[in-house]
Amino acid sequence: MKIKFLGAIEDVTGSMTLVENNNQKFLIDSGMYQGVLHIVKKNVRPLAFDPHEIKAIVLTHGHLDHSGYIPRLVKLGFRGDIFCTRETMKLARIVMTDSARILEENEHHPLHAFYGPEDILKATSFFKVKPLKEEFDLAGLKIHFQSAGHILGASSVVVKQEEKQGEKTIVFSGDLGRANDPLMFPPDDCPPADVLMMESTYGGTIRKGDIEQELIQFLKKIKNESRIGIIASFAVARSQLLITLISEHYKAHPEDRVRFVIDGPMMLEANKVYVEYAHETKLPEELKQALRFVETLQHQREWESLQKKDGPLIILSSSGMVAGGRIWRHLENWQDDDTAVLFLPGYQSEGTPGRALSMGRREIQDEEGKRIKWRGEVMTSSAFSSHADQNELLAWLKNVPKESTIYLNHGEPEAKEAFREKLTAMGWKHVKVPHVLTEVEI
Ligand SMILES: [Zn+2]
C-alpha cells in the first residue's frame, strides 16, 4: 500500500491524501486551499494523479478544506464513489454549493469558473453513505469510520489491511474534536494503529481560556457600551455553537440582551442540518430552539435597514478568517466606527486577514483583493475551536503503541515540529513530518 501526501501538509487547508493498493487509487479527502490569494492559487496547481483513475473519495467531514475540491475533480473526470457519513454528505453538499455559487457569481475571483452547480449535482449522485463503524471494501482494504468529534458527522478513517503476517491497521485522523466541546461529544480514541496519519493544527498549543467567559465578556461589552459587535465565524459548526451559547446566555441574563442577527446563506442551510441532527449533540433542545428563533438577514431591504443602525447590535457572519464572504459588507459598512468591535473566535491561519487583525494590523485585503481599514476594536479568543489541543491529541493517542509510525499533517510547520518533539519525548519512536508529494510504502 502506498500513501502520497498531497494537501494540508505545509498548512491547514487543502486536505488530500492519495492511497494506492492493489493497483487501485483512492483519496482521503479532497479539500480546497483557503485563505489569502497565494494560498487560494494552490488550488490550480497541476494534480499529482489523473482524476479518471481515482476509484473513490473517502471524506472525513464537510468543511470546505476537506470537501471543496470534489466538484473540481468531478469536472476533470472523476466518476467514483464518495464514502462518508450521512451528516457529512448533507454538510458537504451545502458547502460545495455555496463555494460553486461564489466562484460562479464572482468574475474577479481567482478561481472563477473553477466549477459550477452542474458539477455539484453530479458529485451529489456519487455519494455512498456509510454509518460509523460499518465496514466497507475499497481497493482490497476493509474500511470504517469512527467518530472524530469536531463537527456533525466528522469521522476518522480506519483502514485494515490483510497481510501474510497478520492484519495491519492504518488510521487517518481527519480533524479531531475536543474533549469537552460544549456541543460535540469527544472523538473516539484512536485504535492501536500500526500507521497513523494525524492532524496537528494545535499540536504545539495547550489551549487556555474559557469559551463561555470570553463570549460573555464580548456580549456584555456590546450591551453596556451600546456598540456594534461583528462576529466572524465559520458557517458550519462554529456558528451553530455561537448561536446556541448566545441564545442560552440571553435566556439566563435578559439584561444583556441586544438585537442579534445572523447573515450568511450557507449558515442558514447548515442550521437546518444541525436542527435535524440536534440529537447527536450535547444540547439538542437548546440548539433547536436557538437556531429556529434567530433573526436572519435574507433580503436586500433588511440589510439596507440594518446599515444605518447604531449599537447595541450583534451580527454573526462568515467567513471565520475574514478571507471573504458576507462579513465583508459589515466590515465595510462599519469600518470607520472606532467603537465597533470585531470578535474573532477561532483559528486564524497564517496569511489570512483574520490573522493580520489578531496580530494588530488594521489594513486588510480579502481573497479578491478588496481592501479596508478597520478602525474599531478587535477581540480574539483562542478558547473557541473545534480542534483538539496538544493535550487532547495526546489523550486520543493513548492506545497507539510506541513502535507505530505517526505522520503529522494538517498543521503549520511550527505546530507539527512542536508536536513531533512532544511525541518523541513521550516515547513514540517513529514520528515523521512529510512534505508535499512525499510517498510512503506501508
Ligand atoms: Zn474541519
Query: How do strand 341-345 and strand 259-263 relate by DSSP bridges?
Result: unpaired
Write down the pLDDT at residue 211. 85
Cross-strand bridge partners of residue 405 = 195, 430
**The amino acid at 61:** H
Ligand 1 center to residue 63 CA distance, Å? 5
pLDDT tens digits along 196-221: 999 999 999 998 888 889 999 999 99
How many CB atoms sit inside 10 A of residue 184's CB?
23
Ligand 1 center to residue 214 CA distance, Å? 22
Ligand 1 center to residue 67 CA distance, Å? 10
pLDDT tens digits along 116-163: 999 999 999 999 999 999 999 999 999 999 999 999 999 999 999 998
Alpha-carbon span 304 to 379, nearest angstrom: 26
35 pLDDT higher than 80: no
C-alpha cell at 426: 513521550
Ligand 1 center to residue 343 CA distance, Å? 20
CB 174 within 8 A of CB 159: no
pLDDT tens digits along 77-106: 999 999 999 999 999 999 999 999 988 888
Ligand 1 center to residue 340 CA distance, Å? 29
Ligand 1 center to residue 151 CA distance, Å? 7
CB 310 within 8 A of CB 207: no
pLDDT tens digits along 265-320: 999 999 999 999 999 999 999 999 999 999 999 898 999 999 988 999 999 999 89
Ligand 1 center to residue 175 CA distance, Å? 5
Ligand 1 center to residue 176 CA distance, Å? 8
Residues 6+ apart with CB under 8 A from 363: 371, 372, 373, 374
Average pLDDT rounded to a whole number, residues 336-355: 91
Query: How do strand 127-129 and strand 136-138 relate by DSSP bridges?
Result: unpaired
Domains in the chain and their CATH numbers?
2-205+386-441 (3.60.15.10), 211-381 (3.40.50.10890)
Residues 6+ apart with CB under 8 A from 222: 228, 229, 258, 311, 312, 313, 314, 341
Ligand 1 center to residue 240 CA distance, Å? 14
385 pLDDT higher than 90: no
Ligand 1 center to residue 302 CA distance, Å? 31
- In whole angstroms, how far apart are CA 193 and each of 189, 312, 416? 11, 52, 20
Write down the pLDDT at residue 164. 85
Ligand 1 center to residue 311 CA distance, Å? 33
Residue 125 burial (C-beta neighbours within 10 Å; 0-12, 13-18, 19+): exposed
DSSP state of 140: T
Ligand 1 center to residue 376 CA distance, Å? 29
The residue whose grid cell reads 450535547 is 282
**pTM (two decimals):** 0.93
Ligand 1 center to residue 401 CA distance, Å? 26
Ligand 1 center to residue 307 CA distance, Å? 32
